[in-house]
Structure 1
């Protein structure tokens, strides 16, 4: 039996409705931001590269550059005011990661900084650089943060600019600066060994339209500090870790929730209300070999919380130690090593010994860092001694004294070949020995 005219009309109406539904779903998928992804249990694995890894530099040149970066950085770490003077620009960051912004994604290489809450990138092209900046006009998911929002009002160094946009201006410790518009867009992070990068919608960042100084030579900065506007806080990730190799490629993992190994040392993180961005731990003493340095129980101090503590910082290569404690450690190390001391100024360091690799193995004792609560972290010479081949077999202490108050900063060389994992929900940081050059396992 042939279909009636009413049946034919009903068929075409149903087909049209179905096509409209399909078209609507497709259009929505093309224009709306992807859902915020939950990282897998093993986390999002990202390669991070050292600032000097692409340069053909010898060990002496690498350390001198790291020391110069550190001198600028240590002054900023002492400061309480992060509202307009924050990080130290491109010339003073140690590690970089690739990140994509927008829909479709545009990829940039930006500095990773655990001592900062700022997340920004250059927008459009900038003078003096061949690298293109982020172009918001090409992103389907880009939008400007309006002035009349609590986020704009509570963001550091922001103000209502032209056209009621939330504008910002940051000045850095090296007097470089960046200005622009606070914006939101989708951020995409790749995972090593996978073809499924994860996307996070509506991440707030600074879209820089003007910059100067050292900031002209970087794509931007990703703050991994503890403030609510840092990249790690906005991603909603409570766990992250890194495994660092000196001056080479290292690994950053976001969202890893593996059970700590038996040889893991876990200590509480301290919260400093005057400087909440930094990762502070309560260090109460140091032992050189079997000798505990006397009088160090109250030498380490964090202003603002009035208790012993130090800063963990991946953005500093060297360890910077309160001068009186450094003097005790230096004297004890010289006494136990029993090696000839040589000039360290050529390396921009403070203490160097003349010895062979074989002699170094036998001479340098283990150091033990004693944390509040009875937890002890034992480190070998590879965490505090640098070897220089040029000009003789010099072995130098990768620690220097500082007169910046009672501040002590444990830098990335100290943290090498540890998987350093942060649990921001429980306020813990753990150290697990690892082969970082082999991927951190």
Structure 2
């Protein structure tokens, strides 16, 4: 939906709002997205409106409109990166499982899906010719979403993948009667899976350069006829976008067909808005560490050689998966105990008695009128010596009305170590599969070295605050060194938390079983 104002008009609006009376207190601007309540009130007070009206909050149209992205300037002489034709913005959405989503369009005529982005699995799948899928229209996710359903028979460019394809991993399950390649993926979450057949169709992308060239990339993805578990009632109801290393993932297909370099980046902003770019090789000033490659099943696995918490540090020796599809970070001992106890020793607030309804062991009482809390800096030392800074280590939880605790956002694991989405906040993460390295740098997700600022920063939008299951209200806290700003609490809270099992289903949603 086109906006009635240009981005420069929006900047002028907030210049006057901040300067107020002509006195400038500081050189800084607060960005607000063009559909925010503040911009809407400003526009309506001046009898300005959007063509077609303002999108209703918490609808697919609202998030699709928010995903309008800056098309960036490509570096001179370099092939432009690609992103989704519906926008490079990624969004955390309330009630959809603490995951980042993007709008993608496939097929002819095209259908748009709101898919969860997951570096812990490989296959991209969408609901298709459904036997068991999330309801196409449902308020059970906390919003009145209307989800799309794909059908190979309805797309002029669709082809079913045959069993003799090199991308068909379940050839042994093919028969003479069923020549079409089946797929089935089981996930760590209890009884959570997706199954169906593989199809080939067009994925619509856009070159991130001034030409705005549309790229029609033929890719293979899953026609998800049967979904189970979390995909029916908690998260990824409209599909999952696997970004892993296997040859069936979209980044692998784009690279193998010469459309982009074999690398991509993701950036998660502190307000729930981020961006994704295919073909982004990072920058010369980023920190890096190599991947530990298992050639039978390659994943984004790195080595951790040390842990630093405030004034203390310790040598370590463990490997960890980098997984955007896991909401929080999981560590096994001894790393978990060292990091948690070191954090606990340096926190000044009173510790909360452990509560089985909360999956986090180390939680602390927050004063009702506190706007700042002190927490120790936290970083992971990686193979090669680079430090991976964690700017969002804590989560605020409402335990009853007007009473909050903040928790160290790490869950104790018996075996797996997973760097989850919460540890990636405030960084641009580069998954460079050409050089087999993970890169990162502190980053403002709304601008880059070669593009203009993205005018989206919905800090006051409850729809884009960190998503939560019903009656469970965690919010990521905004960090600045050791001083953390406490977010403004929501207007209302329930005094009851969901059961631990439901929360853990959310946290372990999309790591594929090896």
Q: What's the TM-score, normalizing by structure 1? A: 0.69
> How do 1:142-153 residues align onto structure 2 when only pairs under 5 Å count?
142-152=158-168
Q: Which stretches in structure 2 are left out of the alignment for 5+ residues?
A: 1-77, 138-146, 454-514
Q: Which residue matches 1:255?
A: 279
Q: Which residue matches 2:385?
A: 374
Q: Secondary structure at the match of 1:179?
A: strand
Distance 1:292 1:254 in 2: 36
When residues 348 and 194 of structure 1 are mapped into structure 2, their CA distance, relative to the original with a 3 A threshold, is farther
Shift of 1:161: 6.3
Shift of 1:126: 5.5
Shift of 1:189: 2.6
Q: What's the TM-score, normalizing by structure 2? A: 0.60
What is the number of residues matched between the two proteins? 345
Matched, 1:240 2:264: yes
**Does the 8 Å CA contact 2:196/2:225 hold for their aligned counterparts?**
yes
The alignment yields a C-alpha RMSD, in angstroms, of 3.1
Distance 1:138 1:114 in 2: 30
Distance 1:395 1:243 in 2: 24
Q: Secondary structure at the match of 1:235?
A: helix
Q: Which residue matches 1:48?
A: 90
Q: Secondary structure at the match of 2:440?
A: strand
Matched, 1:140 2:156: yes
Shift of 1:338: 3.4
When residues 145 and 369 of structure 1 are mapped into structure 2, their CA distance, relative to the original with a 3 A threshold, is same
When residues 297 and 183 of structure 1 are mapped into structure 2, their CA distance, relative to the original with a 3 A threshold, is same
Matched, 1:427 2:449: no
When residues 269 and 167 of structure 1 are mapped into structure 2, their CA distance, relative to the original with a 3 A threshold, is same
Shift of 1:227: 0.7
> How do 1:5-404 residues align onto structure 2 when only pairs under 5 Å count?
40-44=79-83, 46-50=88-92, 53-55=93-95, 94-124=99-129, 128-130=135-137, 131-152=147-168, 154=169, 159-160=174-175, 162-173=177-188, 174-190=190-206, 196-201=213-218, 203-216=219-232, 218-236=237-255, 237=260, 238-245=262-269, 248-261=272-285, 264-276=286-298, 278-293=299-314, 296-298=315-317, 300=318, 309-345=319-355, 347-355=358-366, 363-379=374-390, 382-388=391-397, 391-392=402-403, 394-403=405-414
Farther-moved stretch of structure 1 (389-398 vs 138-147): 389-398
Q: Secondary structure at the match of 1:164?
A: coil
Larger radius of gyration: 1
Distance 1:373 1:357 in 2: 43
**Does the 8 Å CA contact 2:246/2:297 hold for their aligned counterparts?**
no
When residues 184 and 239 of structure 1 are mapped into structure 2, their CA distance, relative to the original with a 3 A threshold, is same
Distance 2:186 2:329 in 1: 25
